[in-house]
Amino acid sequence: MHLRLELREHTPLWLNLALPFSAVLATLVLCSGLVALADANVIDAYSKLFLSAVSSRFNMVETFVKAAPLILTGLAVTVAFKAKFWNIGAEGQLLAGAMGAAFVGGIESLPTFSLVPLMIIFSAVCGACWALLPAVLRTRFKVDDVVTTLLLNFVIFYIMTALLDGPWKDPLSGYPDSPDIRMDAEFPILLRATRLHLGVLLSLVAAPLVWLLIRRTTLGFSISVVGENPEAAAYGGIPITRVLIYTALISGALAGLAGAGEVGGLHFQVMAGISPGYGYTGIVIAMLARLNPLGVVPAALFFAIVVTGAEAMSRATGVPVFLADVIQGTALVTMLIAQLFSTYRVRTHLSASE
């Protein structure tokens, strides 16, 4: 008797819903070995990890604040991957958006009422423009988009670092940070005495809008068809190059909005560590959500809870906070394995001798 993978004719709905949960469960089981190695009780550690993030109003707000950029970068990756435009550059597009928002937010001559809207618009434009370059390279010169989007992350990071160490360096603090944006440019706070800012609301609104784009518009249909079968799309008269360009622009704009939220709602300036890897985590979130824009929100909240609760878990049990990073990486691997079973089923076959 031997096992063989057999292509499914269709995937049951219950399996599609169960796969992300099974991936998360497998991740926690695998990571429990690291908790045990730290001489901590696995149940106590995971209880602290997940319950501390919702144990108070402050922690709940912080969870949503941390989830906001993850939702937007997850949506950015989702849109791109739907068209099989392999955008690994959401991190760089976030940085481009952050710099655009900080630039507009520091212009003294702009009227007060225009600052926040212009920051949002300009951050989206900067992120879109940074994503446009690898899209053009792919469509015009057949350059691998995985390589270009990944390498452009480092290009924009070093451009930003050069600016922060040079002409954009804050003369008041002397640190390699940009000057603070105007107080009038800071995003409105939605809940008094918290950090729940306008960017969080934008991220939550973006998810259903992206879902509507993908599921209910001609462009969204074209994006899906190009991703599923580019030959059929070309035969059906869909302009593949134009669709890929539009996809890149939308994807980059979403990632750029994540940068605007970090500048306008939290840091009020650009700094070298403004993103701890939100763009890369967005890839994991998009895969965990199975490229469903609505699924990005709970996936991002899961990772935000892990990040928020990691410090409380570490203080209470001694487990290093780096467990949060291990969980993120392991979740990607388990989800990729789980997706294999959404396409194939395992069949047992008897050999002739049996």
Residues in the chain: 354
206 in a domain, yes or no?
yes
3-class DSSP state for residue 347? Answer: strand
pLDDT score of 12 more than 80: no
Q: What is the mean pLDDT of residues 14-22?
A: 79
Q: For position 110, which CATH number holds? A: 1.10.3470
Domain range for residue 309? 2-349
Per-residue pLDDT tens over the stretch 137-194? 999 999 999 999 999 999 999 999 999 998 998 777 778 899 999 999 999 999 988 9
123 in a domain, yes or no?
yes
Residue among 275, 233, 218, 255 nearest 134 (CA): 255
Of residues 93 and 272, the one with the higher pLDDT is: 93
Residue 206 Cα to chain centre, angstroms: 13
Amino acid code (one letter) for 2: H
Residue 240 phi, psi dihedral angles, 5° rounding: -60, -45
6 in a domain, yes or no?
yes
What predicted TM-score, i.e. pTM, was given to this entire model?
A: 0.92
Residues 6+ apart with CB under 8 A from 267: 274
User: For tokens 């958006």, what's the residue?
Assistant: 97
Domains in the chain: how many in total? 1
Residue among 226, 270, 302 nearest 74 (CA): 302
- Percent of all residues in the chain with a pLDDT value above 70, rounded to a whole number: 97
Residue among 126, 153, 132 nearest 256 (CA): 126
DSSP 8-class letter at 258: H
Of residues 313 and 126, the one with the higher pLDDT is: 126
With cut-offs at 50, 70 and 90, classify the pLDDT of residue 351: low
182 in a domain, yes or no?
yes
354 in a domain, yes or no?
no
